[in-house]
Amino acid sequence: MIFALFVDGLAVGSIYALVAVGLVMLVQATATVNFAHGDMMMFSTFVAYALLAQLELPYWVAALGAIASAAILGALAERLVIRRLLGGPLASSIMGTLGIAYILQGTAKAIWSDDIFRFPEFFPGEFVRIGSAQISPQSLSVIVITVVIISALYFFLNYTKTGTGLRAMTQSREAARIMGIRVTRMFSISWAIGGVLASIAGLLLAPTLFLSTGMGSITFTGIIAAIIGGFGNIYGAIIGGYLVGILTSILPLFISTDLQGIIPFLLLMVVLFIKPTGILGKRVVKKV
């Protein structure tokens, strides 16, 4: 029983990890917390639904369409809104991303309505028996796909010229500019990648639960996961995502299910009480 819940927690945690990693990438690149991240995920997943269920195109075409739409959304959001707000008050960027979120929600409601939709599973089939536990093929596929995506992101950031440029920019924008890196181009790329990660998270989440215009609220769980791991640290975001997913899956065995919704917040309080900077966060010492 616990093992099956643990695997389900890994699957949910995989989605939280993808959301958290996308958020942290944008914080590192543009010092902006993207409150529209979940709504980009929602909108691109609706694009996949339209291609898959309404136009009856193959699953891989729907997935590519969702990923492409999310990358375009991310790049457009950065170019038209975020770039104009960089260097301004923090409240400006917050309101800017919230504005993008409400625009995406309103557009999705106008096109697809506010109903709840059933998204087709991409790996349907019988449960897989491991020992005495029965595991959904969907859960296993979510875990495997997430590991592949995170591994590909690691390779991109560490072994490609563009990835090296992105990492250099997070250290010092001025130094990166002096070295010939086009910082504005890196901004757009980082937001496009953030959109792609959000899109993949949506494609993994929708078949597991459902598709609706309200699923963008996962942004706040992703932020909690990122803070738990150490905001600004990609590996910390992965750890935070998996912790939140596993504990929200297993703890309801021992506590009232009515309290399940507060588990991420309780975990956040515990981690910050023990280590205020998060699990992998580093304390910044300011010189006086």
Q: What is the 3-state secondary structure (H, E, C) of 46-114?
A: HHHHHHHHHCCCCHHHHHHHHHHHHHHHHHHHHHHHHHHHCCCCHHHHHHHHHHHHHHHHHHHHHHHCC
Residue 123 to residue 145: CA distance in whole angstroms: 12
Residue 284 phi, psi (nearest 5): -95, 120
Distance between CA atoms of residues 138 and 126, nearest Å: 10
Q: What local confidence, expressed as pLDDT, does residue 287 receive?
A: 44
The pTM for the full model equals 0.90
**Gap between the Cα atoms of 15 and 142, Å rounded:** 8
In terms of C-beta density within 10 A (0-12 exposed, 13-18 middle, 19 or more buried), how is residue 140 classed? middle
Say how far apart CA 61 and CA 51 lie, in whole Å.
8
**Residue 41: its pLDDT value, please?**
94
- The pLDDT value recorded for residue 87 is 76
Contact predicate 236/28, CB 8 Å: no
Closest CA to 241 of 155, 169, 149, 123: 149
- List the domains of the chain with CATH numbers: 2-274 (1.10.3470)
Per-residue pLDDT of the chain (288 residues), as tens digits, is: 688 888 889 999 999 999 999 999 888 888 888 999 999 999 999 999 999 988 889 988 999 999 999 999 999 999 898 888 877 788 888 899 999 999 999 999 999 988 899 888 777 667 777 766 677 888 888 999 999 999 999 999 888 888 888 887 777 777 777 777 788 888 889 999 999 999 999 999 998 888 999 898 899 999 999 999 988 788 999 999 999 999 998 888 887 767 777 888 999 999 989 988 888 877 654 444
Residue 23 CA to residue 123 CA, distance in Å, equals 27
Pairwise CA distance, residues 168 & 171, whole Å = 5
Please enumerate in sequence order all residues whose Cβ is within 8 A of that of 44, keeping only pairs 6 or more positions apart, or say none. Answer: 66, 67, 69, 70, 73, 195, 198, 199, 202
Least Cα distance to 23 among 245, 199, 219, 162 occurs for 219
* Phi, psi at 29, each rounded to 5°: -80, -45
What is the H or E stretch that residue 135 is in?
Answer: strand 133-135
Tokens of 279: 């699990």
Residue type, 175: A
Give residue 115's region: left, alpha or beta (phi > 0; psi -120 to 50).
beta
**Quick one: pLDDT at residue 283?**
65
